[in-house]
Structure 1
Amino acid sequence: MLYHTKEDLLNDLKNVADIQKNGTVLVLNKEVLRNKKMDALVYNAVFNKEAALRDASRSLIRNMGNKLGVVSASIHSLYEAMGKKEYKGFTVPAINIRGLTYDVSRAIFRAARKNHVGAFIFEIARSEIGYTDQRPAEYSAVILAAAIREGFEGPVFIQGDHFQINAKKYEKDKECEITTVKKLIKEAIDAGFYNVDIDTSTLVDLNKPNLTEQQRLNFEFAAEFTAYIRTLEPKGITVSVGGEIGEVGKKNSTVEELRAFMDGFTDTLSRKGKGLKGISKISVQTGTSHGGVPLPDGTVAKVKLDFDTLKNLSMAARDEYGLSGAVQHGASTLPADAFDKFPEAGAAEVHLATEFQNMIYESKVFPQDFRKEIYDFFKNHPDIKKEWKEGDTEDQFIYKVRKNGFGPFKERFWNLPDNVKKKIGEELEAKFDFLFKKLNVVHSKEIVKKTIKPVEVALPNP
């Protein structure tokens, strides 16, 4: 399946795509492309050891996607319309994919096509990029390849989630940590991430005497990163930027904190350049934690999410600042009856991750010997083993750390038997179908069509 030479790649796409010397790509047979040819191309985009062939595969996916109406885009203009109250009553799901990325994405696109969904986001957090071994250029190539494979057409929203200042690293070397985040932002935008969630809420200091001072470092760095993003945007694209006022898993956010952040952010950004676009949404804390809280038997504790707080924060964000609303993190492990409450509360966006990882590991068709091998790896890995806290059962330890299996075993996950991947894909597709309906984004394709004008950004073909 791997290409060894440029000729291998060209021969595999012969009579399917015309790759011209100036870099232009013409799709000659989209039906053949949307089959095993795309499977081979995306495999090389991820696993080919030759950088030139890997990069060429990624470029071809992006450029062929542009020709087929699969265009990486910013959701900013939809969120602006939501901020003006032109559209309401739905919550956009933002889905983090940690493993089996091609197959999970295909399941999402199938559910989206079936339900005429256009308002949904693929995302990956700074921390996930590390432990899942998925750099932005790889992640976006896989998402776009999945869209092509499933015959999806329309804007594809890819987002950097929790592009976060690490508080400990910031304390040790401020300039190094700021530079690291800026490099990641540039890498992501170059890869087609036209949606970026800045998370400097890690610098909020609740020991300061008032809300403005508590939020100061948060809004000052959020403004600095936003201004930096505006210098990187491809022509015709306004990157959708999100801010965050409360670190997930900490105390619940308040409307007063939102105002302190937004007033400080708006003032700081205005001094960095005339007419700079600000953020389009604001992430808040209302009672969830990333991944949920595992109980001794490995199940997840029920969480009491404060939907009244979420509603008040969303209302203030829209009414006072023209944002699309508040964003809820850490929600995938909530009970099924919670999800239709997000649109009722006016939440603009909800972030979903851990449950999909759980579904993969816990699927009845997932090979038991492979699962055991991964779990044994955790128990013997010196760094991962440190996460086994005193008093935790083995089930609690495994639940907390199993996200770390997707990077070291990435190719093994990818090469699971087709019948296993097909069944897991069907299980996930049913889950996404459920979420799309609960979050009321069914038929949102028309809204996206009215508000989003995708801009094609081609990549050079090495």
Structure 2
Amino acid sequence: MLAMNQYLAAALDTSGARAKLRDAGAVREHIDEIVRLAVFGSPAEQPLARYAIHAAAPQLGAVSSSIWGLYAARGRGEVSGFTAPAVNIRGMAYDMSRALFRAIKATDGAVTIFELARSEMGYTFQEPAEIAAVVLGAAIAEGYQGPVFIQGDHFQANAKKFATDPEGESRALENLIRKAVAAQFYCIDIDASTLVDLSYDRVAEQQAPNAKLTARLAKLIREIEPAGVTISIGGEIGEVGKHNSTVEELICYVDGFRDIVGPGFTGLAKVSVQTGTSHGGIPLPDGTIAKVAIDFDTLEQLSKVGRERYGMGGAVQHGASTLPDELFHRFPAVETAEIHLATGFQNLIMDHTRFPAALLHEMQRFADGNFANERSEGETDVQFFYKTRKKLWGPFKQQTWDLPAEVRGEFNRALQEKFEFLIRQLKADNTREVTLEHVVQAPVEVEPPLVQTAV
């Protein structure tokens, strides 16, 4: 066997067929290097580095957990008054996750969630095993102790693929779920809202394909979830950017789901709805974001029905990170269970005065050359780049990770400040006590990887 990387050698015992954690303290001491191996290491190094992080994290106090218990308590009326922020970790994932953990510690905002969508995993080049290791590594680096909520956001059915090969697309989602659960994603949002069929007049028939696929995937999740963990499952009734959701749609969807899974099944913890936003906001020709009107009354009604009729945590708001700052306090006021935040943080980094101009220009050229087919008629260069630059995190992953420490430090300070602001506006600060009361922290042993012949 060739010489092992020195950091892995200090953390792991590889004398047997499978690796074993030798020293959690060594993982903590060399966490920056081990996280880098988990992302950019060789094919032999990556699984060892990811295992070292997963094995060490609970020993160091950071436990990948499900938020289900807290949402169930909300459904019973035992907790209220906050909205859980769910942050999509698209780019510069280690730096962003560390900044978010610092904000959580500074605000006591323990309900905060780290997430990545199915589509984002594709264009950011971050599979479940990678992003989960990065998030837990960030927790170790920041000395965070407590539950860590890692969520699969928008595990979404592709409507075109489903129309031609429904079984193939269903199995693709099942495979993604298996990978996510193996990587300790214990919060998963199923999004089959793309299958809603508006050709029917009756809402129940419109929502039936959505409910059917959600039920199939939820059954799989319950079958494979680890002992001691009840994975938080979310559903969705309103595709973001489409018409606003209604109470009737919510009832028809959840009732249809329940009819399929049967009584006694631990069902949905929440449902995502549409109330007037779109993912990333709508860029105007000058690059500014169009103002939107959030239907807070509908959001309040949907959350109330979710809690009182179904015992769920309530409704989830998507596409919110580009909203004006003065709106965020209104989400907890109407008892929104959760809010998803992504593009605003991307904008904060890419529009920062310290973002290298040469790198930004290279990214723009890449977008022009690779995404030209996505340009709409009449779209300005500013609008086109704003719309497509989220897809640059993958091709430029290493370049952004390797930016000078001084530059990354500027980004990280700005991110932490924004995270702290949002946590406080959403009344998610000072939630550690209630989170620890209702969330089960059940450390799960991950399967050690086989020791390969060359590391």
- Per the normalisation by structure 1, the TM-score is 0.94
Choose the corresponding residue for 1:181, options 173, 178, 193. Answer: 173
Choose the corresponding residue for 1:25, options 5, 21, 26. Answer: 21
Matched, 1:445 2:441: no
Q: Give the CA deviation at 1:15.
A: 6.1
Secondary structure at the aligned position of 1:12 is classed as helix
Q: Give the CA deviation at 1:261.
A: 0.8
Choose the corresponding residue for 1:456, options 425, 443, 449. Answer: 443
Choose the corresponding residue for 1:56, options 26, 41, 48. Answer: 48
Q: Give the CA deviation at 1:107.
A: 0.3
Matched, 1:65 2:57: yes
Choose the corresponding residue for 2:39, options 38, 42, 46. Answer: 46
Conserved? CA contact 2:63–2:148, under 8 Å: yes
Residue of structure 2 equivalent to 1:319: 308
- For 1:297 and 1:8, how far apart are their aligned partners in 2? 53
* Partner AA of 2:38 in structure 1: A
Conserved? CA contact 1:27–1:67, under 8 Å: no
Equivalent residue pairs, number: 448
Conserved? CA contact 1:253–1:285, under 8 Å: yes
Matched, 1:428 2:420: no
- For 2:170 and 2:9, how far apart are their aligned partners in 1? 46
* Partner AA of 2:217 in structure 1: F
- Relative to structure 1, the CA distance from residue 336 to residue 28 in structure 2 (aligned partners, 3 Å threshold; closer, same or farther) is closer
Secondary structure at the aligned position of 1:458 is classed as coil
> Mapping of 1:71-150 within 5 angstroms?
71-150=63-142
Q: Give the CA deviation at 1:456.
A: 1.1
Secondary structure at the aligned position of 1:216 is classed as helix
Choose the corresponding residue for 1:331, options 314, 317, 320. Answer: 320
Q: Give the CA deviation at 1:23.
A: 4.6
Conserved? CA contact 2:345–2:415, under 8 Å: yes
- For 1:228 and 1:6, how far apart are their aligned partners in 2? 40
Q: Give the CA deviation at 1:6.
A: 6.5
Residue of structure 2 equivalent to 1:201: 193
Conserved? CA contact 1:34–1:150, under 8 Å: no
C-alpha deviations, 1:390-423, integer Å up to 9, x for none?
1011000000000011000111111111111111
Q: Give the CA deviation at 1:53.
A: 1.3
* Partner AA of 1:134 in structure 2: Q
Q: Give the CA deviation at 1:117.
A: 1.6
* Partner AA of 2:260 in structure 1: T
Q: Give the CA deviation at 1:266.
A: 0.9
* Partner AA of 2:378 in structure 1: G
Residue of structure 2 equivalent to 1:210: 202
Q: Which runs of 4+ in 1 moved over 4 A?
A: 13-24
Residue of structure 2 equivalent to 1:395: 382
C-alpha deviations, 1:56-101, integer Å up to 9, x for none?
0000000010110111111111110011111100000111011000
- Relative to structure 1, the CA distance from residue 134 to residue 6 in structure 2 (aligned partners, 3 Å threshold; closer, same or farther) is farther
Matched, 1:224 2:216: yes
- Relative to structure 1, the CA distance from residue 28 to residue 323 in structure 2 (aligned partners, 3 Å threshold; closer, same or farther) is closer
Q: Give the CA deviation at 1:323.
A: 0.6
List alignment gaps of at least 5 residues for structure 2.
451-455
Conserved? CA contact 2:8–2:34, under 8 Å: no
Secondary structure at the aligned position of 1:327 is classed as strand
Residue of structure 2 equivalent to 1:305: 294
- Relative to structure 1, the CA distance from residue 446 to residue 350 in structure 2 (aligned partners, 3 Å threshold; closer, same or farther) is same
- Relative to structure 1, the CA distance from residue 16 to residue 171 in structure 2 (aligned partners, 3 Å threshold; closer, same or farther) is closer
Residue of structure 2 equivalent to 1:171: 163
- For 1:113 and 1:18, how far apart are their aligned partners in 2? 33
Secondary structure at the aligned position of 1:8 is classed as coil
Secondary structure at the aligned position of 1:122 is classed as strand
Matched, 1:8 2:4: yes
> Mapping of 1:237-316 within 5 angstroms?
237-270=229-262, 275-316=264-305
Residue of structure 2 equivalent to 1:405: 392
Residue of structure 1 equivalent to 2:346: 357
- For 1:7 and 1:279, how far apart are their aligned partners in 2? 48
Conserved? CA contact 1:96–1:124, under 8 Å: yes
Conserved? CA contact 1:26–1:67, under 8 Å: no
- For 1:6 and 1:117, how far apart are their aligned partners in 2? 45
Q: Give the CA deviation at 1:29.
A: 3.6
Q: Give the CA deviation at 1:275.
A: 2.5
- For 2:146 and 2:218, how far apart are their aligned partners in 1? 26
- Relative to structure 1, the CA distance from residue 45 to residue 14 in structure 2 (aligned partners, 3 Å threshold; closer, same or farther) is closer
List alignment gaps of at least 5 residues for structure 1.
none
Conserved? CA contact 1:293–1:300, under 8 Å: yes
Q: Give the CA deviation at 1:209.
A: 1.9
C-alpha deviations, 1:20-69, integer Å up to 9, x for none?
85754254646xx545x1111011101112x2211000000000101101
Q: Give the CA deviation at 1:121.
A: 0.6
Conserved? CA contact 2:239–2:274, under 8 Å: yes
Conserved? CA contact 2:155–2:190, under 8 Å: yes
Secondary structure at the aligned position of 2:316 is classed as strand
Secondary structure at the aligned position of 2:234 is classed as strand
Identify the structure with bigger relative contact order (alpha carbons < 8 Å, sequence gap 6+).
Answer: 2
Secondary structure at the aligned position of 2:374 is classed as coil
Conserved? CA contact 2:243–2:276, under 8 Å: yes
- For 1:360 and 1:6, how far apart are their aligned partners in 2? 40
Conserved? CA contact 1:6–1:53, under 8 Å: no
| Identical-residue share of aligned pairs (%) | 48
Q: Give the CA deviation at 1:18.
A: 6.8
- Relative to structure 1, the CA distance from residue 236 to residue 20 in structure 2 (aligned partners, 3 Å threshold; closer, same or farther) is farther
Secondary structure at the aligned position of 2:307 is classed as helix
Secondary structure at the aligned position of 1:386 is classed as helix
Q: Give the CA deviation at 1:207.
A: 2.0
- Relative to structure 1, the CA distance from residue 44 to residue 308 in structure 2 (aligned partners, 3 Å threshold; closer, same or farther) is same
Secondary structure at the aligned position of 2:298 is classed as helix
* Partner AA of 2:40 in structure 1: F
